[in-house]
Copies of this chain bind each other. A is one copy, B any other.
């Protein structure tokens, strides 16, 4: 009898296209004890009647699925977000195997998330900005594109067998990692002060590019809550008028 590990990750589908695939994902999730399905801008809206048949009885997952306007909103309560992608699209991110991803998630007392992109195109560079690391399923170099629900099944299987593996070496972090909402708050604080200070180049497009770089820089390391608070103090301090010495 299989024992399901506690505290399973959320499965986040970004701009999923076919309701049938969302149902197949729900089935694969429940097969491996995953129940928290989150949808970001599903193409055909939600609920979608085409999801039911392929869910094949995983109705509870379908019924409890939540819809979000943005990936940032969907991961607000998560402190580890892993994007599934075959390549890093030239970004600086750690790349972990499914087993490595599972080991990290199972060492974490807080909520984690695995993010999957649209069926046809996968996650964009913009989506991956919000991910702390990329999880790549090892596959045929000449035919590597997995069906969405099959990829979820592989990660679900890795989740269930992972707890039998010895615990990985891990950073000791007594504070607990910062949630994505805390990080987003830090980034917004930087952003506000920088905008006030005229940091952003007013040329069209460059402001967005600078904002993406800010998100990218602060999403990469595993900040603790205390570190995020400290950095917010740094922002405040830098933006205050200097006191005479």
- A residues apposed to B, CB below 8 Å: 1-2, 4, 24, 27-28, 30-33, 56-58, 97-99, 137-141, 143-147, 149-151, 153-154, 157-158, 160-161
Contact = CB atoms under 8 A, between A and B. Distances in A.
Contacts of A140: 2, 4, 30-33
7 contacts: A27-B150, A56-B145, A97-B161, A98-B161, A99-B161, A147-B149, A153-B154
Interface centre among A4, A145, A150 (most CB of B within 10 A): A150
A139 B27 contact: no
A157 B140 CA distance: 10
B160 A157 contact: no
Given A30-B143, A143-B57, A144-B31, A138 B150 contact: no
How many copies of this chain are found per oligomer? 2
A204 to B, nearest CB: 39
A137 B150 contact: no
Contacts of A145: 31, 56
Contacts of A153: 146-147, 150-151, 153-154
B141 A31 contact: no
Q: Which 6 A-B pairs have the closest CB atoms?
A: A150-B153, A2-B138, A154-B157, A30-B143, A31-B139, A33-B140
A159 to B, nearest CB: 10
Contacts of A4: 140-141
A102 B58 CA distance: 29
Nearest to A25: B150
A107 to B, nearest CB: 20
A145 B58 CA distance: 11
Contacts of A161: 97-99, 138
Contacts of A58: 143
A200 B243 CA distance: 104
Contacts of A137: 157
Contacts of A147: 24, 27-28, 56, 149, 153
A27 B146 CA distance: 8
A24 B137 CA distance: 18
A99 B138 CA distance: 15
Contacts of A1: 141
A2 B136 CA distance: 10
Given A98-B157, A139-B157, 4 more contacts: A1-B141, A24-B147, A28-B150, A147-B149
